[in-house]
Amino acid sequence: MRRSLAGRSLGSVSPSNAARASRAPGIALDIPVVIDTDPGIDDTLALLLALNSPELDVRGIAVSYGNTVVEHAHRNALEILRRAGKRLPVAISARRPLVRPLATAHETHGPSGLGDARVPPAGVILDYVKPLERLLDEQPDPVTLVTLGPVTGLALALRRDPAIVRAKVARHIAMIGNLRAAGNTTRYAEFNAWCDPEALQEVLRAELPTELVGLDVTRKLVLTGAEIERLGRLDDPLARWLYAALRVYHAFHRKYDQLDGCVINDVLPIAELIAPGMMDFEPFRLTVHLEDGEQRGRTRIDPQGAQARMATAVRPEVARRLLAERVLPAPVVAEAAR
């Protein structure tokens, strides 16, 4: 077995090719997926997991503002694709919230969005770049839309072309919101929901259907400080690059959450697609607080709210095992490899 991280997960015989080769021709088992993302350190692990998983056929990436400005998120997405050895269509999902001023999480993810990881300079994104609804329209059949950032781009697509969204999105799974867990941006609100509560309200009311993977479950998926330090000691370019990103995220968690580790929220919706049933979902009627203040962006149960399913329990060891097998080398995530 090659010890190189790149060789394990990103080598020339990709898991994707190997899996396709073992299947009968003409039988498409891969789940077609479009990922709307604001990379982002946890987005990076989620994207690498998706790109390295034969169960998923990632058809394209749509990039949003969120953890950083959209120009940086776009540059980061291209760098993640380059390091994964993939070329995919990249669309622009949203540059700013529907009505609120743009805010980013630079104190969590660093000014570039990827901590101290080296990235090329960001360019200007011109107006004719493909929007999310065009990326969806190009799909020959319905896809699973995964959103890992604010849902502004999906709300805009629903405003501009609801028929395309409804025809091409068979399932929407989102890292967003919280019910019983405390917020991570205010006492009550999760960051993606807080960024654009009006967009989340519009998306929920569309009842696509949407499934929410929120802080109630994502807080249970933690890379420990010891695991991050082990990653930093590996002699491997991708491991060093990920470590430079994760150590900033780790320092943030240590300072603000008194947590020796990183909550890697965005990995969970991807893991659920690969290993269905690793989370429990329950149906709710949900609404979003649109008022300013600590309640802004809070998701809560409301008998008049929109129907959606929300994750209420998780088996994080499944996601940790997937990361160990497909993104991080086994010695990093020690117990998951057993």
Residues that bind Ca ion (CB under 5 A): 38, 40, 43, 148-149, 266
Q: Which two tokens stand for residue 277?
A: 């049933």
Closer residue to Ca ion in complex, CB, 53/104:
104
Which lies closer to Ca ion via its Cβ, residue 149 or residue 329? 149
Q: How many CB atoms lie within 10 A of CB 239?
A: 20
- Minimum distance from residue 218 beta carbon to Ca ion (Å): 11
Rank residues 8 and 250 by Cβ distance to Ca ion and give the closer one.
Answer: 250
Cβ closest to Ca ion, residue 149 vs residue 177: 149
Minimum CB distance to Ca ion, residue 297 (Å)? 15
CB of 247 to Ca ion, least distance (A): 18
The nearest distance, CB 79 to Ca ion, in angstroms, is: 16
Please, what is the minimum distance in Å from the beta carbon of residue 148 to Ca ion?
4
- What is the closest distance, in whole angstroms, from the C-beta atom of residue 212 to Ca ion in the complex? 14
CB of 175 to Ca ion, least distance (A): 6
For residues 21 and 17, give the distance between their C-alpha atoms in angstroms, rounded to a whole number.
6
Nearer to Ca ion, 37 or 295 (CB): 37
We find the least distance from the C-beta atom of residue 43 to Ca ion, in angstroms, to be 4
Residue 43 vs 190, nearer CB to Ca ion = 43
Query: In the bound complex, what is the minimum distance in angstroms from residue 266's beta carbon to Ca ion?
Result: 5
Question: b vs e for 270-287, b when ≥16 Cβ sit within 10 Å of the residue's Cβ?
Answer: bbbbbbeebbebeebebb
10 Å Cβ neighbour count for 304? 6
Residue 299 carries which side chain, given as an amino acid letter? T
Is the Cβ of residue 108 or residue 201 nearer to Ca ion in the bound state? Answer: 108
- Peptide bond just before 297 cis, omega within 30 deg: no
164 or 246: whose CB is closer to Ca ion? 246
Q: Which CB atom, from 46 or from 328, has the smaller least distance to Ca ion?
A: 46
* Unique residue bearing structure tokens 């990827």: 114
